[in-house]
Amino acid sequence: MSEQAAAVSLAGVSKTFAKGQVRALEDIDLGIRPGEFVSLIGPSGCGKSTLLRVIGDLVGASGGQVTVNGKSAARARADHDYGIVFQDAVLYDWRTVAKNVALPLELAGWSRRRRGERVREMLELVELSGFGDHHPWQLSGGMQQRVAIARALAFSPALLLMDEPFGALDEMTRERLNIELLRIWEASESTVVFVTHSIAEAVFLSTRVVVMSPRPGRIAAVVEVDLPQPRTNETREEPRFFELVTEVRERLRATEPAAGLLA
Amino acid sequence: MSTVVQPLPPGLGRRVGRNARDWIPAALVLVLGLGSWQVLVDVLSIERFLLPKPSEIARTFWEERDVLWSAGLYTFREALGGFVIGSGAAMLFALLLARFRRLGSALMPLAIAANAIPIIAFAPIFNDWFDVLSPTSKIAVAAVLCFFPVLVNTLRGLTSVQPRAIELMRSYAAGELQVFRKVRIPAALPFIFSALKVASVLAMIGAIVGEYFGGSQEALGIQIRNSAALFQFETAWAAIMVASILGIAFYASIATVERMVLKWQGNSREGVRQ
């Protein structure tokens, strides 16, 4: 894979906090190809959210090189090359759903007409067409998160960064939105970097699962997920799915200190 | 923090008084209260100078309406002037302190402390600083009274935006000005309106109490003070009635603007959906 072709390329990336006292990330090397769906998974404190923010240039790396779409992370942010979704939907209550989705376009100076068209497309994509005039508090948690996804995709970015986007939702809603997200991923032809706590979610969604270990945050293993596309609810019941879940679980367990030491 | 006025629970302001039926109990209590006042003054043979009957106050109010209303409007103009100057300066100052955090953290404790000072105590001094007979000294009292609660609450509103909302704006490469225009200021509006309602009351108090320490003969505070001194209690009470009506109208008009501006506030408190 050439440097230019990579959607995200991380070379020797490190991040320290508190004047070098806390090593959040160390020696991260990772290349993500366009169109991939990569999950970052690991115990709390492994720096997976920090890594996502380093890619998005919301947190600067302390060392190493971060390249997004062949540019520096700062350039990519300025060019709206990525959209981001957090665990909280972070919708502004004084704006309607449509105006929330339009906000990034508004900031970039798009005309009202162009904004309107784009917002309509995006709400259609997340299947919330009838809800443009609603206010965020009138929607359920799952619907709010879909609005956040629509907003993140407003610029049709090549890259979608997601920080435990379904972490606050109930299991049923979460599984439904997983399928929804895969459909959106396919339709928008974007690359997704997805942070999660859930092993099953990571395996179900991803083409690759990156297992991280804590203190300092490092990449412990990368698991290729060879489940066929498109994935459906039946995928979760296939033997291969369970094998992969087990593999990721074992890799995760290997990152922890031996159980005997903790007891 | 006691100096911060929390926005009302969502929807409350709208539910109360949405239709006439909501007003009936309050109106009933008012009529009953006035009725028993009227009767009890006779029954308990309360001296006229201690407490005039509502009917006498109402008659005086009617007979002296021209003088009282023009006095009321004179004082209201002072209050309004002080309100506009004090609140306006406070909001600008809050924007500055929110933009330059270091300045904010240096000055905020002082502002909170100043907010707890009984500023009305300065009224006689303001009368000395500015001309005692001019409205300026009363406008100054009202302005200073309005300044601190509006400052503290606006700043609180501007800075209480959750970090994710700001991070999101950064992901769009939004500038500081855009963050203020699109996020901080709208998020602060419920706080600002709560403070403005408090400030409207304070402005009326400031103007009237300022006048108690000396002012123009046309002023309402002077009317109240002089009629009380001359045992014209019906006039004093009628003047107080004028002050009350103007104060309530002032408050209600701000509440009305609030309701129009914050239409989006269906049942949300924090402004940014988590």
Domain ranges of chain A: 1-81+158-256, 88-156
Q: Is B238 exposed, middle or buried (0-12, 13-18, 19+ CB in 10 A)?
A: buried
Residue type, B242: V
Q: Do A93 and B182 touch (CB under 8 A)?
A: no
Distances B270 to B92, B159, B162 between C-alpha atoms, Å: 22, 12, 9
Task: Give chain A's end-to-end CA distance (angstroms, integer).
Answer: 45
CA B28 to chain centre: 26
| pLDDT at residue A1 in the model | 45
Residue type, B67: V
Are A49 and A214 in contact by the 8 Å Cβ rule? The answer is no
CB burial of B188-198 (b: ≥16 within 10 Å; e: otherwise) equals bbbbbbbbbbb
Answer whether residue B274 shows pLDDT above 90: no
Q: Which of A78, A90, A106 is facing B272, going by the closest CB pair? A: A90
Q: Which of A77, A89, A93 is facing B271, going by the closest CB pair? A: A93
| Closest residue on chain A to B262 (Cα) | A94
Answer whether residue B249 shows pLDDT above 70: yes
* Sequence-separated (6 or more) residues with CB below 8 Å from residue B62: none
Q: In this complex, is the C-beta atom of A107 within 8 Å of any C-beta atom belonging to chain B? A: yes
Q: Which of A80, A83, A94 is facing B186, going by the closest CB pair? A: A94
Beta-strand pair A191-196/A63-68: unpaired
Are B46 and B226 in contact by the 8 Å Cβ rule? The answer is no
Fold for the domain defined by B50-261: MetI-like fold (1.10.3720)
Q: DSSP string covering A16-47, please?
A: EETTTTEEEEEEEEEEE-TT-EEEEE-STTSS
Distances A109 to A104, A119, A126, B178, B231 between C-alpha atoms, Å: 9, 14, 24, 11, 68
What is the maximum span of chain A, computed from C-alpha positions, in angstroms?
Answer: 64
Cα dihedral B57, B58, B62, B67 in deg (nearest 10): 40
Over residues B72-117, the pLDDT tens digits come to 999 999 999 999 999 999 999 999 999 988 888 888 888 888 888 8
Count of Cβ atoms closer than 10 Å to residue B1 Cβ: 8
Q: In this complex, is the C-beta atom of A84 within 8 Å of any C-beta atom belonging to chain B? A: yes
d(CA A194, CA B19): 50
* Helices B65-99 and B136-159, axial angle in degrees (round to 10): 40
- The confidence band for B118, taking pLDDT boundaries of 50, 70 and 90, is confident
| pLDDT at residue B3 in the model | 42
| pLDDT at residue B82 in the model | 95
| pLDDT at residue A108 in the model | 86
Q: Do B165 and A90 touch (CB under 8 A)?
A: yes
Which of these, A152, A13, A149, A28, lies nearest to A72 by C-alpha position? A13
User: Distance from B160 to chain A by nearest Cα, in Å?
Assistant: 14
List B residues 199-238 in contact with A (Cβ-Cβ < 8 A). Answer: none
Q: Do B168 and A80 touch (CB under 8 A)?
A: no
Answer whether residue B248 shows pLDDT above 70: yes
Over residues A73-106, the pLDDT tens digits come to 999 999 888 999 998 889 998 899 999 999 999 9
| pLDDT at residue B1 in the model | 33
Over residues A46-70, the pLDDT tens digits come to 889 999 999 999 998 888 899 998 8
Average pLDDT value over all residues in chain B: 85
Q: In this complex, is the C-beta atom of B264 within 8 Å of any C-beta atom belonging to chain A? A: yes
Over residues A107-122, the pLDDT tens digits come to 888 899 999 999 998 8
d(CA B119, CA A85): 48
Sign of CA dihedral A175, A162, A156, B180: positive
Answer whether residue B18 shows pLDDT above 60: no
Q: Do A92 and B165 touch (CB under 8 A)?
A: yes
Q: Is B153 exposed, middle or buried (0-12, 13-18, 19+ CB in 10 A)?
A: buried
Place of tokens 């996020």: B183
Selected residue with higher pLDDT from B199 and B132? B199
Strand partners of residue A9: A31, A67
- The confidence band for B271, taking pLDDT boundaries of 50, 70 and 90, is low
User: Distance from B253 to chain A by nearest Cα, in Å?
Assistant: 22
Answer whether residue B4 shows pLDDT above 70: no
Sign of CA dihedral B95, B101, B106, B108: positive
Q: In this complex, is the C-beta atom of B178 within 8 Å of any C-beta atom belonging to chain A? A: yes
Answer whether residue A170 shows pLDDT above 60: yes
| pLDDT at residue B233 in the model | 86
| pLDDT at residue A188 in the model | 83
Q: Which residues of B touch A85 (CB under 8 A)?
A: none
Region B254-258: mean pLDDT is 93
Q: In this complex, is the C-beta atom of A165 within 8 Å of any C-beta atom belonging to chain B? A: no
Strand partners of residue A63: A14
Q: Which residues of A touch B187 (CB under 8 A)?
A: 92, 94
| pLDDT at residue B11 in the model | 44
| pLDDT at residue A257 in the model | 67
| pLDDT at residue A208 in the model | 95
Which of these, A50, A57, A48, A59, lies nearest to A78 by C-alpha position? A57
Over residues B66-77, the pLDDT tens digits come to 989 999 999 999
- The confidence band for A159, taking pLDDT boundaries of 50, 70 and 90, is very high
Over residues B212-241, the pLDDT tens digits come to 888 888 888 888 998 888 888 888 999 999
Q: In this complex, is the C-beta atom of B171 within 8 Å of any C-beta atom belonging to chain A? A: yes
Q: Do B171 and A90 touch (CB under 8 A)?
A: no
d(CA B172, CA A138): 26
Q: Do B171 and A58 touch (CB under 8 A)?
A: yes
Q: Which residues of B touch A92 (CB under 8 A)?
A: 165, 182-183, 186-187, 271-273
Listed by start position, the domains of chain B span: 9-46, 50-261
Sign of CA dihedral A125, A128, A132, A136: negative
Size of interface A-B (CB pairs under 8 A): 77
Answer whether residue B36 shows pLDDT above 50: yes
Fold for the domain defined by A1-81+158-256: Rossmann fold (3.40.50)
- The confidence band for A5, taking pLDDT boundaries of 50, 70 and 90, is low
Answer whether residue A31 shows pLDDT above 60: yes
Average pLDDT value over all residues in chain A: 88
- The confidence band for B19, taking pLDDT boundaries of 50, 70 and 90, is low
Share of chain A above pLDDT 70, in %: 95
d(CA B271, CA B123): 38
Region B149-154: mean pLDDT is 93
Q: Which of B167, B186, B187 is facing A58, going by the closest CB pair? A: B167
- The confidence band for A3, taking pLDDT boundaries of 50, 70 and 90, is very low
Task: Give chain B's end-to-end CA distance (angstroms, integer).
Answer: 24
d(CA A162, CA A190): 12
User: Distance from A146 to chain B by nearest Cα, in Å?
Assistant: 13
Q: DSSP string covering A45-85, please?
A: TSSHHHHHHHHTTSS--SEEEEEETTEEHHHHHHTT-EEEE
| pLDDT at residue B231 in the model | 82
Sign of CA dihedral B23, B29, B32, B33: negative
Sign of CA dihedral A24, A27, A33, A36: negative
| pLDDT at residue B114 in the model | 85
d(CA A95, CA B262): 11
Place of tokens 């046309």: B218
d(CA A170, CA A184): 20
Q: In this complex, is the C-beta atom of B164 within 8 Å of any C-beta atom belonging to chain A? A: yes
Over residues A187-237, the pLDDT tens digits come to 888 999 999 999 999 999 999 999 998 888 899 889 999 988 888 888 889
- The confidence band for B8, taking pLDDT boundaries of 50, 70 and 90, is very low
d(CA A251, CA B80): 69
